[in-house]
């Protein structure tokens, strides 16, 4: 049976503890998905292994008390090498990393986005007033922006897993910059929505016109939207993370999961 994206999840945690800010969002999400979780810490040779291992094991123990399967793995070496090696050894299905501040990927994330053979999910927790709002409640909606490209559809497998776990509705959003594209866009979205509805999901289509980032952010303010799932990829001139994705990660007040899958 093929593995799902959230089946075996690797979460790198650093010494600064910044990555731990995403755990309150991830914990219920992964619990609902029945994920097996691997917390990983890469340390230099001079660092005390026992201290790092104790901290990581404490986090894994908390997940285990909530009925999940969780592991703490501490390894000596450069972070990318440690992450890739453990991802291979443990047959990891996805790596999850947070983005904070101005949503710019750090050096480690940049290298993983460019080189990792594993799907990578860049997670931005909710910000502002909505950070206090209960998240991941059943029977709400997941917003999935699509632009008509094959790359933008790479977020759908993750969105479908989340929708199944949370019994959530899927909102397929297309933002047009040229009104002349309307008929083709409606046809494309309807084809996807009808296929998903036949598979037992609840999917509907939204069509907007204007600046993509602004319209996506505006749509995410709908009180029924609890998550936003999209891809990281932009045009080849934008680098490894597209400009629209970067704006959404930087400004969204609802949690964002940006999926990177090498084509």
Q: Dump pLDDT digits (tens) for 209-218.
A: 999 999 999 9
Please check whether residue 45 lies inside any domain of the structure: yes
Shared domain for 138 and 254, answered yes or no, is yes
Q: What is the per-residue pLDDT across 179-227, written as a single tens digit (0 to 9) for each?
A: 888 999 999 999 999 999 999 999 999 999 999 999 999 999 999 999 9
pLDDT > 90: percent of the chain: 54
Same domain, 249 and 145: yes
Q: Is residue 103 situated within a structural domain?
A: no
Lowest-confidence region among 18-32, 128-142, 191-205, 226-240: 128-142
Mean pLDDT of 98-108: 73
Residue 207 lies in a domain: yes
Domain count, the chain: 2
Please classify residue 134 by burial: count the beta carbons closer than 10 Å to its beta carbon, then call 0-12 exposed, 13-18 middle and 19+ buried.
Answer: exposed
CA atoms of 37 and 28, how far apart (whole Å): 12
Mean pLDDT of the chain: 86
SS3 of 261, please? coil
- Predicted pLDDT of residue 104: 65
pLDDT at 128: 55
Final residue before a domain boundary, out of 74, 98, 122? 98
Residue 49 CB-half CA count within 13 A: 7
Instruction: Please check the confidence at residue 237 and state whether its pLDDT lies above 50.
Output: no
Residue 123 lies in a domain: no
134 has pLDDT over 60: no
Domain finish residue from 56, 79, 98: 98
Which of 98, 116, 141 terminates a domain? The answer is 98
- Residue 99 backbone dihedrals phi, psi, to 5 degrees: -125, 135
> Is 70 within 8 Å of 60 (Cβ atoms)?
yes
pTM above 0.85, yes or no: yes
Distance CA 145, CA 136 (A): 19
Alpha helices by DSSP H, 41-128: 49-65, 79-89, 107-115
Q: Which two tokens stand for residue 26?
A: 């991830």
User: Which residues are paired to 145 by β-bridges?
Assistant: 173
> Does a structural domain hold residue 195?
yes
Q: Are residues 153 and 245 in the same domain?
A: yes
pLDDT at 103: 59
Round to whole Å and give the CA distance between 82 and 42. Answer: 6
pLDDT-wise least confident of 98-102, 139-143, 227-231:
98-102
Backbone angles phi, psi at 95, to 5 degrees: -105, 130
pLDDT at position 130 over 80: no
According to the model, what pLDDT value does residue 131 have?
A: 47
| Residue pair 8/38 in contact by the 8 Å Cβ criterion | yes
Question: Quick one: pLDDT at residue 236?
Answer: 43
Which of the four pLDDT bands, split at 50, 70 and 90, describes residue 120?
Answer: very high
Beta strands at 256-260 and 120-124: parallel, antiparallel or unpaired: antiparallel
CA dihedral 155, 215, 164, 124 (to 10 degrees): 70
Domain of residue 241 covers 131-260
């Amino acid at each position: 049976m093929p593995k799902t994206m959230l089946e075996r999840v690797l979460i790198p945690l650093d010494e600064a503890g910044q990555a731990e800010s995403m755990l309150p969002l991830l914990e219920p999400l992964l619990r609902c998905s029945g994920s097996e979780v691997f917390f990983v810490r890469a340390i230099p040779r001079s660092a005390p292994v026992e201290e790092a291992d104790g901290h990581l094991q404490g986090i894994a123990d908390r997940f285990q008390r909530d009925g999940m399967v969780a592991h703490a793995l501490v390894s000596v070496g450069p972070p990318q090498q440690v992450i890739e090696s453990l991802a291979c050894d443990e047959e990891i299905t996805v790596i999850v990393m947070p983005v904070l501040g101005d949503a710019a990927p750090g050096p480690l994330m940049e290298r993983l986005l460019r080189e990792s053979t594993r799907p990578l999910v860049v997670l931005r927790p909710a910000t502002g007033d909505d950070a206090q709002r209960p998240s991941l409640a059943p029977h709400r909606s997941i917003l999935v922006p699509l632009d008509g490209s094959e790359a933008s559809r790479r977020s759908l497998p993750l969105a479908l897993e989340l929708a199944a776990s949370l019994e959530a509705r899927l909102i397929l959003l297309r933002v047009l910059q040229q009104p002349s594209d309307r008929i083709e866009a409606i046809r494309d979205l309807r084809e996807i929505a009808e296929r998903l509805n036949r598979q037992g999901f609840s999917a509907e289509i939204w069509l907007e016109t204007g600046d993509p980032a602004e319209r996506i952010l505006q749509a995410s303010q709908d009180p029924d939207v609890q998550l936003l799932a999209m891809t990281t990829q932009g045009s080849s001139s934008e680098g490894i993370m597209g400009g629209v994705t970067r704006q959404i990660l930087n400004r969204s007040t609802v949690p964002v999961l940006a999926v990177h899958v090498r084509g």
